[in-house]
Amino acid sequence: MSFVEYGDTIKDGDTAIVFLGHESMFPVKVQHGTVTQTKYGVIRHSTDLIGKKYGSKVTCSKGGWVFILHPTPELWTMNLPHRTQILYSTDISIITMMLELKPGSIVCESGTGSGSLSHAVIRTVAPTGHLYTVEFHQQRAEKAREEFREHGVEHLVTVTNQDVCKNGFGVSSIADAVFLDIPSPWEAIGHAKSALKAEGGRICSFSPCIEQVQRTCLAMEEYGFTEINTLEILLRVYNVRTISLQIPDLGKAAEDNSSTGFDSSNPSNQGSLCANVQQGTVQFKSGVPLREMVGHTGYLTFATKS
């Protein structure tokens, strides 16, 4: 099993996603002799998972059923264990596009955190690219290495435990893109410039506060970055509803009234007018936004090395 290569069959040691519904799923490490408890009953890894195909419908001990899905960066983002605040697919998608990532790209990242963005970047730059990710916290760095190894992508990523603001990324003049998700990104702009290739490399900084953005933009200008711009991505979800409306046959009523000299302006004739209007019902689909929507996550500041 690998997050960048699809496998048909569930194997011992794989990470799989147990799908109970769109709002209910969780990851499980498949191990021979192990069982997983769900609200629909027990899943026995040896008989219910190992050897079955990904996407299979598995019946649990209580008679209910679940689907077993092959992991992807998107599913992992929704189900990973949170060691820090993470980036979600809404921001990840624009980061991947604006940094112009593609297979073969070399990317530097700090900090690694829970690895949400890391998995998406690895999938994008595979099979010939590489991710150099720096994490200040030692335990989080060790856990990230363990996850990358379990997910079959350790050959595409190098995890370093150090302070990027003091020691940089450990590489020089090779990166196509740099991503910063740290409390003081302006202190790492110089190291980011050193890590980027000679010309045309892209940088992105994620910050929740506008004061951080202001200091980061000033630092980018100081180090000669161009095309500096800041975005905020807000997700707005719509519910699709079926709406029924009564449609009066006004044309037929108007013809009948004109032929009989009916005066619709006379208050005494209003009841007769309503009786004469033949009403029908029409149904149509309409999109209605949620009353509450996900708000601010962070500002994304992009720039290009001149």
Annotated binding site for S-adenosyl-L-methionine: 114-117, 135, 181
28 C-beta neighbours (distance < 10 Å), count: 18
The closest alpha carbon to 116, from 138, 148, 142, belongs to 148
Q: Report residue 273: phi and psi, to 5°.
A: -60, -45
Q: Report residue 17: phi and psi, to 5°.
A: -105, 120
Collapse the DSSP code of 131 into the 3-class scheme (helix H, G, I; strand E, B; otherwise coil) and give the result: strand
Neighbour order of strands in the sheet with 15-21: 24-29, 15-21, 65-69, 57-59
Annotated binding site: 114-117, 135, 181
Using CA atoms of 133, 137, 139, 143 in order, give the dihedral in degrees to the nearest 10: -20
* Contact indicator for 235, 294 with CB cutoff of 8 Å: yes
